[in-house]
Copies of this chain bind each other. A is one copy, B any other.
Amino acid sequence: MQNMESSLNHYKFEVPEIIFGRGLLTQIGSCARRLGGHKVFLVSDQGLFASGWVDKALKSIMDAGLEVIYYDNITSNPKDLEVEEGAREYIRHGCDVIVGLGGGSSMDAAKGVAILVSNGGRIRDFEGPDKIFRPLPPLVLCPTTCGTGSDVSQFAIINDTERRCKLTIMSRCVAPDISLTDPDTLETLPDEFVCTTATDAMSHAMEAFFSVASTTLTDVHAIKALRLVSTSLVNAVRERRPDDLENLARASLHAGMAFSNSLLGIVHALAHPIGGLYDANHGSINAVLLPEVIKYDIPVVSEKLPELAWGLGHRTDGNIGTASEVVQEALDHMLDAAGAPRSLRSLGVDRKDLPELARRALKDVCIVTSPREADEGDLLSILEKAY
């Protein structure tokens, strides 16, 4: 696939209505009502139920005078069958607005349900860019992790269980009407997910910044996301201070606004087939791939390196060589200090699958905006270095 021409001088920028603040989960109900809903289909997962946030959401929805159907048959890397069952439940109960509450899995599942209830068919029919033709029901998304960006993005990623691959659905239709972040929800997020979802946000920001479709509108958000992650990641993981967690929630939002509009690159093109084949944690895969992809990209993005170094908290006086070193060292240091996984092997990837993963990545929509072209051999080489 050829790289897209740089669209720096011709671009679109679109983000949903954003609401952000501690304690604002109580506003879910009024958001759903404001969008014209009467019966909410609430998509979440069982882990979040145990933490008490689902109860808060249910109460908010009922306080707003709306009915609600709760659906939690969702696993991580959400599966086509789970989404298709959700759509049947939505229709059976006559719902008219969808709320997704949780990490990327719950929110992407909510998007999948929204696609199916208005467009019919199976979720695999919507793979790739712009395959959705009928408008979706109103959608409110509330992230409870600090990385996915699904709450503002034009992407939904669903696992195809038959072909054991991830379907990347890309359409402005799947950006929600309202993105509502309550950073308080991060307080109950297990330590490992603070790290792995924040490294997902970091990948979003860096890939968005290097993307051939990046613009000043996306760059400012990418750089702010990196500043917030570099300031707060390690402290958030180690000490879990609310201010640091809130900074990570904010970073996730900034990174989501950036990549939803500038798209991504090789990290995500590779992470999708790996997640499809192994059901491994998406943020962990990104954390492993990011340093190798940055190394690969650096020769073609040198002009942007001083600003990136600044985003990571280092001054380089505009020197590109210094910036290149600083970026790589800062990234390595952050990943180590936060306890991120550092090899594909440690994630359970089988070395013999690497060639197949490289082949599949070539077909992922994310590769189109990579700043540096890559063939199968280049991708395989990145995978081997990250192994």
Interface residues of A (CB under 8 A from B): 9-15, 17-22, 24, 215-217, 219-221, 223-224, 228, 246, 250, 253-254, 257
Contacts and interface: CB of A to CB of B under 8 A. Distances in A.
B12 A15 contact: no
Contacts of A22: 9-10
Given A221-B220, A254-B216, A18 B12 contact: yes
Contact of A10 (B24, B215, B223): B24
B15 A21 contact: no
B216 A224 contact: yes
A175 to B, nearest CB: 10
Contacts of A216: 224, 228, 250, 254
B228 A18 contact: no
19 contacts: A9-B21, A9-B22, A9-B246, A10-B21, A11-B19, A11-B20, A11-B21, A12-B17, A12-B18, A12-B20, A13-B17, A14-B17, A14-B18, A20-B217, A216-B224, A217-B254, A220-B223, A220-B224, A220-B254
A103 to B, nearest CB: 22
Nearest to A246: B9
Nearest to A228: B216
Contacts of A11: 19-21
Contacts of A13: 15, 17-18, 20
A368 to B, nearest CB: 19
Contact of A217 (B12, B14, B18, B246): B18
A245 to B, nearest CB: 13
Contacts of A257: 217
A39 to B, nearest CB: 23
Contacts of A219: 224
The 9 closest A-B pairs by CB, nearest first: A10-B21, A220-B220, A13-B18, A220-B224, A14-B17, A12-B19, A9-B21, A11-B20, A216-B224
Contacts of A223: 220
Given A10-B22, A20-B217, 16 more contacts: A9-B21, A9-B22, A11-B20, A11-B21, A12-B17, A12-B19, A13-B15, A13-B17, A13-B20, A14-B17, A216-B224, A216-B250, A216-B254, A217-B253, A217-B257, A220-B220
